């Protein structure tokens, strides 16, 4: 049972290494060969001390082991006198060659570790960005960052430990051969003791892996908590809950502290116990060998040195084994993230070119999230080429879901979406998204210049195209007021600009790409009336040339549309020209408009009362807000 369990663990670890480091098998093979070579150089150099001592002491017959005889034969073949000076030069040359080999080994190690880190991060980051929208929504904030930055960095330690362990094994093999050449019984007893030590610390190795797995899990929670706190820092400060946020973080930090102490304690016990065991063994060997009639001081000195080296190798091997087990959970985490991303890659099997001359249509489209209640129910509508269509409805009606289907972030549960009669699923995903401009309520700006935010990684756009897009989006007045114009840095998430200015930068980003279809998803809902007016002016210029689909809460945003649709509980309950719907007092649109006007009058009345109160008590005059519905 125990043997089977151990074998299974070893097989799983081997499969894990094979998958994670498959691109570096040839490099590891070279390291193995060089490891044997460096071990041979050092071991032979150490063994050469025996004939050296024999020459110095005048006991030339004392060097009778195989390697000493081989050295004598080599010197004889090269017609070189076996003189202490030449023997010292020979030993020095061996160690110089060994040093050169180790420099090469270390360089190869550095190269493969750095290359692994770069390639693995690139691969995982690419696969994550290619992953489906539904999968990305399920990822906790900070998890991907933690895997990309921390876990893969830990994997480089694992790769280094593996290559160093191979080098260690190669050196150990060479030292063992030399030690066996000098004294087989002592060498075998060393390995017998080493085997006992390994078995004694086996549970320690498994505890190390278990601790490391738990440590990696808590690190992910820390990354999530810190990222989440930074994203919500304004709410945290405004509600004065900093202490509670810190307390939650302290809970994670305390777990990490406790696990780190346990882990370091286990490593320390292993490291500190093996060395005295080795020294006790060496003393015992000396006591047993000293009174032997065949005792040879030179051979004994070398065997003691070799035993010390072998125990050092065994100690390092134990520590490397613990290090490997400590890092394995990070490789598992990285590979698991990679497998998960690949398993949820966006489906892109389209082969039809993008053509749009007539209409974009939803044909009996229904949608539900993971088999739950339907969010959209058999909706059908079309957008003619160049038409501007508005979509209005309460929160939860399914407006954003329609946008997500249009962007192909999701696929319809039933029905299909077509463009000029062709299912959009048959058009390559990259080509489809290049033809659609999407402006969301949640603004995403880089901490870079206005120009680079308009370019947004598309270096093919010319300066003229960028400037023209800025002009179309009503950015010219802002750019004239900024000393650096398009070169102005907007700050983190565009903090240096107002909400309306940020939204116009986003609109310029979209217009610079000449989209065939423009989608505005609540793009002006958080703007003041003046900012909304500027956005409307920019959109008006596109009428008749770009098909525009506007999702809105504010009726002012859709009054200039060619057609307005009302969505409620996943169904389109009304559609028509805004003017016609307003003339029909029974229409939902008319009722929404009436409610909006009533709210405006009520707000104006409150503002008027406030003005009277301020005049009475000598307060400053307050500017009344204006609502734009025409």
Residue 417, SS3 per DSSP: strand
Distance in angstroms (rounded) separating the CA atoms of residues 203 and 170:
26
Burial of 2 (0-12, 13-18, 19+ CB in 10 A): exposed
- Supply the pLDDT for residue 529: 67
End-to-end C-alpha distance for the chain, whole angstroms? 81
Q: Are 419 and 427 in contact (CB under 8 A)?
A: yes
- Supply the pLDDT for residue 622: 40
Residue 429, SS3 per DSSP: helix
The bridge status of strand 563-568 relative to strand 388-392 is parallel
Cα radius of gyration rounded to whole Å, the chain: 37
Q: What are phi and psi of 576, to 5 degrees?
A: 165, 175
Residue 584, SS3 per DSSP: coil
Q: Are 517 and 434 in contact (CB under 8 A)?
A: no
Q: Are 408 and 424 in contact (CB under 8 A)?
A: yes
Which helix (DSSP H) or strand (DSSP E) does residue 573 occupy?
Answer: strand 571-576
CA 271 from centroid of its chain's CA atoms: 34
Q: Are 459 and 451 in contact (CB under 8 A)?
A: no
Helix, strand, coil in percent for the chain, rounding step 5? 65, 10, 25
Q: From the first residue on, what is the mean pLDDT of each consecutive set of 10 residues in the chain (630 residues)?
A: 55 78 83 85 77 65 67 82 82 87 88 89 88 82 82 87 84 80 78 76 74 82 81 71 84 86 76 72 70 64 74 78 82 88 83 90 91 87 92 86 91 93 90 88 84 87 87 83 86 81 86 89 66 73 85 81 91 91 86 72 55 47 35
Please work out, in degrees rounded to the nearest 5, the angle formed at the alpha carbon of residue 125 by the alpha carbons of 225 and 509: 90
- Supply the pLDDT for residue 1: 46
Superfamily the domain 20-343 falls into: ABC transporter type 1, transmembrane domain (1.20.1560.10)
Residue 366, SS3 per DSSP: strand
Domain map (residue ranges) of the chain = 20-343, 359-593
Sheet of 422-423: strands edge to edge?
374-384, 359-368, 414-419, 422-423
Residue 518, SS3 per DSSP: strand
The bridge status of strand 414-419 relative to strand 359-368 is antiparallel
Residues 6+ apart with CB under 8 A from 470: 450, 454, 476, 479, 486, 508
How many CB atoms are closer than 10 A to CB 333? 23
Q: What are phi and psi of 521, to 5 degrees?
A: -100, 95
Burial of 446 (0-12, 13-18, 19+ CB in 10 A): middle
Distance in angstroms (rounded) separating the CA atoms of residues 545 and 366:
30
Structure token pair of residue 315: 């100690």
Q: What are phi and psi of 571, to 5 degrees?
A: -130, 145
- Supply the pLDDT for residue 422: 92
Q: Spell out a b/e string for 237-261, using b for 16 or more CB atoms within 10 Å of the CB, else e.
A: eeeeeeeebeeeeeebeebeeebee
The bridge status of strand 359-368 relative to strand 374-384 is antiparallel
- Supply the pLDDT for residue 626: 35
Q: Single out the residue of 557, 351, 347, 545 nearest to residue 439, CA to CA.
A: 557
The residue with tokens 């204006």 is 626
> What pTM did the predictor assign?
0.74
Strands (E), 242-317: none
- Supply the pLDDT for residue 630: 30
Q: Are 154 and 327 in contact (CB under 8 A)?
A: yes
- Supply the pLDDT for residue 528: 62
Residues 6+ apart with CB under 8 A from 501: 475, 478, 494, 531
Q: Single out the residue of 420, 334, 391 nearest to residue 568, CA to CA.
A: 391
Q: Is the dihedral of CA 57, 63, 68, 70 positive or negative?
A: positive
Burial of 277 (0-12, 13-18, 19+ CB in 10 A): middle
Distance in angstroms (rounded) separating the CA atoms of residues 358 and 381:
13
The residue with tokens 């930074």 is 230
Structure token pair of residue 37: 């070579």
Sheet of 388-392: strands edge to edge?
436-440, 517-521, 547-552, 388-392, 563-568, 571-576
* Architecture of the 359-593 domain: 3-Layer(aba) Sandwich (3.40)
Q: Single out the residue of 383, 388, 326 nearest to residue 538, CA to CA.
A: 388
Distance in angstroms (rounded) separating the CA atoms of residues 60 and 168:
34
Residues 6+ apart with CB under 8 A from 198: 314, 318
The bridge status of strand 547-552 relative to strand 517-521 is parallel
- Which ranges in 130-151 belong to alpha helices (H)? 133-137, 143-146
Q: Are 575 and 558 in contact (CB under 8 A)?
A: no
Where does residue 239 fall: left (phi above 0), alpha (psi -120 to 50 degrees), or beta otherwise?
alpha
- Supply the pLDDT for residue 619: 44
Q: Spell out a b/e string for 505-527, using b for 16 or more CB atoms within 10 Å of the CB, else e.
A: bbbbbbbbbebbbbbbbbbbeeb
Separation in Å, CA 299 to CA 54, 89, 175, 313: 9, 20, 14, 21
Q: Are 439 and 509 in contact (CB under 8 A)?
A: no
């Amino acid at each position: 049972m125990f043997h089977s369990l151990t074998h299974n663990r070893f097989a799983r670890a081997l499969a894990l290494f094979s998958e994670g480091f498959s691109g570096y098998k040839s490099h590891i093979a070279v390291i193995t060969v060089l490891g044997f070579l460096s071990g041979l150089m050092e071991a032979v150099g150490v063994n050469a001390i025996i004939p050296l001592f024999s020459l110095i002491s005048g006991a030339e017959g004392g060097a009778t082991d195989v390697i000493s005889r081989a050295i004598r034969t080599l010197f004889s073949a090269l017609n070189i006198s076996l003189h202490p000076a030449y023997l010292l030069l020979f030993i020095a040359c061996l160690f110089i060659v060994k040093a050169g080999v180790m420099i090469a080994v270390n360089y190869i190690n550095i190269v493969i570790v750095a290359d692994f880190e770069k390639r693995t991060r690139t691969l995982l980051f690419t696969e994550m960005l290619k992953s489906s929208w539904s999968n990305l929504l399920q990822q906790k904030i900070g998890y991907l960052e933690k895997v990309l930055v921390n876990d893969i960095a830990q994997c480089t330690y694992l790769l280094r430990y593996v290559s160093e362990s191979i080098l260690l094994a190669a050196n150990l093999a060479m030292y063992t051969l030399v030690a066996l050449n000098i004294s087989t019984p002592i060498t075998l007893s060393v390995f017998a003791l080493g085997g006992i030590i390994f078995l004694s610390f086996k549970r320690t190795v498994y505890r190390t892996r278990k601790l490391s797995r738990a440590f990696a899990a808590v690190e992910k929670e820390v990354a999530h908590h810190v990222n989440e706190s930074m994203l919500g820092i304004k709410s945290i400060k405004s509600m004065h809950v900093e202490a509670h946020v810190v307390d939650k973080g302290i809970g994670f930090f305390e777990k990490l502290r406790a696990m780190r102490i346990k882990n370091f304690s286990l490593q320390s016990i292993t490291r500190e116990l093996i060395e005295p065991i080795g020294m006790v063994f060496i003393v015992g060997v000396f006591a047993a060998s000293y009174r032997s009639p065949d005792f040879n001081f030179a051979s004994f000195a070398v065997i003691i040195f070799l035993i010390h080296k072998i125990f050092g190798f065994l100690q390092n091997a134990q520590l490397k084994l613990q290090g490997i087990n400590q890092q394995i959970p990070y490789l598992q985490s990285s590979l698991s993230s990679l497998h998960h991303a690949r398993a949820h890659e966006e489906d892109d099997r389209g082969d039809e070119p993008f053509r749009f001359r007539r209409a974009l249509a939803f044909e009996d489209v229904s949608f539900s999230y993971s088999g739950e209640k339907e969010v959209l129910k058999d909706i059908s509508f079309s957008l003619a080429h160049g038409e501007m269509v508005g979509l209005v409805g309460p929160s939860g009606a399914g407006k954003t879901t329609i946008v997500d289907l249009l962007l192909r972030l999701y696929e319809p549960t039933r029905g299909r979406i077509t463009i000029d009669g062709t299912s959009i699923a048959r058009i390559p995903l990259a080509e489809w998204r290049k033809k659609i401009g999407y402006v969301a309520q949640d603004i995403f700006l880089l901490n870079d210049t206005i120009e680079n935010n308009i370019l947004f990684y598309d270096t093919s756009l010319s300066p003229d195209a960028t400037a023209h897009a800025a002009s179309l989006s009503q950015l010219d007045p802002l750019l004239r007021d900024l000393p650096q114009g398009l070169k102005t840095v907007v700050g983190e998430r565009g903090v240096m600009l107002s909400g309306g200015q940020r939204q116009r930068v986003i609109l310029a980003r979209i217009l610079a790409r000449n989209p065939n279809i423009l989608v505005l998803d609540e793009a002006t809902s958080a703007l003041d009336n003046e900012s909304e007016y500027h956005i409307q002016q920019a959109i008006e210029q596109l009428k008749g040339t770009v098909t525009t689909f506007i999702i809105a809460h504010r009726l002012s945003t859709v009054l200039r549309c060619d057609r307005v649709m009302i969505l409620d509980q996943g169904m389109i309950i009304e559609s028509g020209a805004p003017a016609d719907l307003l003339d029909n007092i029974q229409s939902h649109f008319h009722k929404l408009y009436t409610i909006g006007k009533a709210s405006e009058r009520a707000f104006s009345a409150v503002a008027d009362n406030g003005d009277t109160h301020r005049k009475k008590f000598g307060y400053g005059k307050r500017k009344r807000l204006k609502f734009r519905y025409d």
